[in-house]
């Protein structure tokens, strides 16, 4: 199967917009269950506001949140697919740019030093693109995740000693909540800025000629 790069670009654009507008059914069901079981008045009000926000966004074909996040694309390539890997990544980047400019979306991505915002949701190593391979024939699967930027305002990493077990995890979580001012905002799935930083640290151990922060 020969890959059509225009199809990839269009899919990258549409997936970004769709991910910002459509909440998965299991998440919506989770909100419904929480609303019925929550007893604390403050939590009830917050949940009610969130549920109303979801309904308004769906009824008006609007974004669920103004935070468009860090765009992450997970790409799975099957057997027999003819493609230019670099061209695929560039097509995804163009799709991300088009989604931001044509919808339009708020761009949250800035240069790490100059803070310049190109208004494209793209930057150095952004969008984050993960590529994996499958033994399924003639397959190209693209998953888009808008990683909420606010979820990483307080980010903590720790290498635990295996012998410490579950107690070490509990202690770490409590310490992180206290360090964040005692106001936990929930734990966000990996894949965003912190994960990318770890990947860059690993990749940085190899001499290469990638664009520097100062180019």
* Under 8 Å between Cβ of 13 and 68: no
Q: What Cα–Cα distance (Å) separates residue 92 from each residue in 73, 77, 142?
A: 8, 14, 10
- pLDDT tens string 112-125: 889 999 999 999 88
- Rounded to a whole number, what is the distance in angstroms from the first to the last CA of the chain? 37
Residue from 126, 39, 135, 153 nearest 81 by CA: 135
Of 130, 128, 108, 112, the C-alpha closest to 120 is 108
Residues 135-182 pLDDT 10s: 999 999 999 999 877 666 677 777 888 888 899 889 988 888 888 776
> Is there a contact between 145 and 89 (Cβ–Cβ < 8 Å)?
no
Residue 93 scores a pLDDT above 90? yes
pLDDT, residue 19, reads 94
CB 137 within 8 Å of CB 79: yes
Q: Which residues contact 56 (CB under 8 A, 6 or more apart)?
A: 62
Q: Does residue 82 surpass a pLDDT of 90? A: yes
Residue 197 has pLDDT above 70, yes or no: no
Alpha carbons 151 and 185: distance in angstroms, whole number? 7
Reported pTM = 0.77
Measuring CA to CA, which residue among 100, 90, 84 is closest to residue 15?
100
In this predicted structure, the answer to whether residue 132 has a pLDDT above a threshold of 90 is yes
């Amino acid at each position: 199967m020969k890959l059509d790069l225009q199809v990839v670009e269009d899919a990258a654009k549409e997936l970004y917009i769709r991910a910002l507008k459509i909440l998965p059914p299991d998440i919506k069901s989770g909100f419904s269950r929480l609303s019925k079981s929550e007893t604390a008045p403050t939590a009830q009000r917050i949940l009610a506001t969130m549920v109303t926000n979801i309904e308004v966004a769906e009824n008006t074909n609007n974004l669920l949140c103004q935070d468009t996040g860090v765009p992450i694309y997970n790409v799975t390539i099957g057997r027999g697919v003819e493609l230019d890997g670099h061209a695929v990544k560039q097509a995804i980047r163009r799709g991300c740019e088009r989604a931001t400019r044509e919808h339009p979306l708020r761009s949250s991505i800035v240069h790490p030093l100059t803070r310049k915002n190109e208004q494209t949701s793209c930057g150095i190593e952004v969008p984050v693109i993960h590529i994996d391979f499958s033994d399924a024939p003639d397959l190209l699967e693209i998953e888009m995740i808008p990683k909420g930027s606010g979820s990483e305002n307080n980010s903590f990493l720790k290498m635990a000693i295996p012998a410490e077990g579950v107690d070490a995890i509990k202690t770490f979580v409590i310490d992180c909540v206290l360090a964040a001012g005692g106001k936990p905002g929930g734990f966000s799935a990996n894949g965003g800025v912190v994960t990318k930083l770890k990947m860059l640290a690993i990749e940085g151990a190899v001499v290469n000629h990638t664009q520097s922060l100062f180019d």
